[in-house]
Amino acid sequence: MAIGKGISPAGNADASSPGGGGAALPEASTRGPASPIEFRLDPASGVPTYLQLVQQVEHALRLGYLKPGDQLPKVRDVVASLAINPNTVLKAYRELETKGLTAGRPGQGTFIEATLSQVALPELTGLRRSLLGWLATADTAGLDEDGIVALFTSVLRDFHERRGGTGDRRAPASGATEGVA
């Protein structure tokens, strides 16, 4: 994700946001209509295009690139830069709206409404510990790293399917797998 203009309209890039690196600091004065984020596509990922856009917004929220009040790139701009179907962008933006993360303002665009809270730290520690335990078991059973990733991905997909579709708020975002791979 390019950080073209990483300054939120609210003011300076604050140091407290996790991962909000200082790459864009010198541009504090250029506060154009542009969105803080820029989408990119990974054609080889196998993830549907609209879902890639949804996941990138969620990811940017988690990392602090996007904050409430920020504007998402305009549909036309996304279409022009990625050469994709406008319906795909609209679908992604609808999905984000359904999740309560964004709201459309007629004639203006789509804006961030909410933040994505990260899992609370104590929970994260516990999850991490149990995952480590599971990994040790898998290792003892003779699974190598690729085998572990394959198994995890397969189980994650089953889990996801059983929950029914992508409409779920806690659908497996990219962040969930990164911890393992």
Partner 1 sequence: MNVIEAAGLGKRYGSTWALRECTLAIPDGHVAALVGPNGAGKTTLLNLAVGLATPTAGTVSVLGGTRPGSPAALDGIAFVAQDAPLHANLSVADTLHLTRNLNRRFDRGYARARLDELGIPLTRKAGKLSGGQQAQLALTLALGRRPRLLVLDEPMASLDPLARHDFMATAMTAMADDGVSVVLSSHVLTELERVADYLVLMSRGSVQVAGEVDDLLASHRVLTGPAAEAGRYAERLAVVHARRGGAQAHLLIRTNGSTDPVPPGWEAHPVSLEELALAYLREPGAASLPGPVRAERTEVSP
Instruction: Report the interface residues with partner 1, using CB under 8 A.
Output: 41, 43, 46, 48-49, 75-76, 79-88, 90, 154, 157, 161
Residue 137 or 154 having the CB closest to partner 1 = 154
Burial class (CB in 10 A: 0-12, 13-18, 19+), 167: exposed
**Residues 66, 38: Cα–Cα separation, whole Å:** 11
Find the Cα–Cα–Cα–Cα dihedral 30, 85, 166, 171, rounded to 10°: -30
Q: How far is the CB of 13 from partner 1 (least distance, A)?
A: 31
Residue 18 or 48 having the CB closest to partner 1 = 48
Do residues 96 and 50 lie in contact, with contact meaning Cβ atoms separated by under 8 Å?
no
Q: How far is the CB of 20 from partner 1 (least distance, A)?
A: 30
Structure tokens at 93: 């933006």
Q: How far is the CB of 88 from partner 1 (least distance, A)?
A: 7
Residue 108 or 130 having the CB closest to partner 1 = 108
Residue 87 or 98 having the CB closest to partner 1 = 87
Q: Is 103 helix (H, G, I), strand (E, B) or coil?
A: strand
Residue 115 or 154 having the CB closest to partner 1 = 154
**Residues 159, 54: Cα–Cα separation, whole Å:** 20
Q: How far is CA 140 from the centre of its chain?
A: 34
Q: How far is the CB of 76 from partner 1 (least distance, A)?
A: 5
Q: How far is the CB of 85 from partner 1 (least distance, A)?
A: 5
